[in-house]
């Protein structure tokens, strides 16, 4: 659901998100439009499970970095996104932003796709993530499929028996 239909600048977006009535709400800046990220308990549950397994994989493989959930925002190719799950290496930067959107894009962004998500917005986000060098997983819980996008590689579609 777009809050504003007119195109605005990143600076206007950041000022908008800091308004007193908006500080407790989650927004993305997609294609010049402000999009409020609605609460979705089912997608949040799927994200939490994935978050757990990514943390476990990082621990078991001694990978240094940060995992964020849907409240973690990132600057990506001039946009502002809040992926459902994201990984960013401690090498870039070693510390996450304490307010606003993290200045660097994540190394991995996971979008848990719900029936109410805009396909157009999702495709635009994937293209911008790829342009920023981010690997993207578009997870479709309803069909139990995941699309894996990596910069410079063809998309891979995995079902529930596939391995990431």
Are 100 and 72 in contact, with CB atoms under 8 Å apart? no
pLDDT of residue 124: 94
State pLDDT tens for residues 104-158.
999 999 999 988 888 999 999 999 999 999 999 999 999 999 999 999 999 999 9
Three-state secondary structure of the chain: CECCCCCCCHHHHHHHHCCCCCCCCCEEEECCEEEECCCCHHHHHHHHHHHHHHHHHHHHCCCCEEEECCCCCEEECCEEECCCEEEEECCCCCCCCCCCCECCCCCEEEEECCCCCCHHHHHHHHHHHHHCCCEEEEEECCCCEEEEECCCCCCEEECCCCCC
Average pLDDT over the chain, rounded to an integer: 88
Residues 6+ apart with CB under 8 A from 142: 115
Q: Which carries the bigger pLDDT value, residue 151 or residue 164?
A: 151
pLDDT at 67: 94
pLDDT at 123: 95
Of 55 and 39, the structure prediction assigns the larger pLDDT to 55
Residue 4: pLDDT band with limits 50, 70, 90: low
Would you place residue 72 in the very low, low, confident or very high pLDDT band (cuts 50, 70, 90)? Answer: confident
User: What average pLDDT does the segment 82-89 reach?
Assistant: 94
**135-140 and 108-112 strand pairing:** parallel
| pLDDT tens for each residue of 14-36 | 888 888 998 888 888 888 888 88
pTM over 0.75: yes
Span between the terminal Cα atoms of the chain, in Å: 31
Question: Residue 129 is inside which H or E element, if any?
Answer: helix 119-131
pLDDT at 163: 87
**Greater confidence, 164 or 1?**
164
| % of the chain with per-residue pLDDT over 70 | 95
């Amino acid at each position: 659901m777009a809050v504003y239909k007119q195109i605005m600048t990143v600076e206007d977006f950041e000022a908008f998100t800091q308004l007193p009535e908006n500080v407790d709400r989650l927004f993305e800046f997609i294609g010049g439009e402000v999009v409020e990220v609605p609460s979705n308990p089912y997608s949040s549950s799927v994200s939490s499970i994935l978050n757990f397994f990514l943390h476990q994989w990082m621990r078991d493989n001694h990978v240094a970095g940060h995992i964020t959930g849907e409240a973690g925002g990132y600057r990506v190719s001039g946009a502002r996104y809040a992926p459902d799950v994201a990984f960013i290496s401690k090498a870039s930067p070693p510390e996450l932003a304490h307010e606003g959107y993290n200045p660097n894009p994540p190394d991995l962004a996971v979008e848990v796709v719900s029936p109410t998500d805009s396909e157009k917005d999702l495709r635009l986000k994937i293209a911008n993530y790829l342009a920023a060098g981010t690997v993207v997983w578009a997870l479709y819980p309803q069909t139990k499929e995941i699309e894996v996008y990596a910069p410079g590689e063809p998309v891979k579609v995995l079902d529930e028996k596939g391995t990431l």
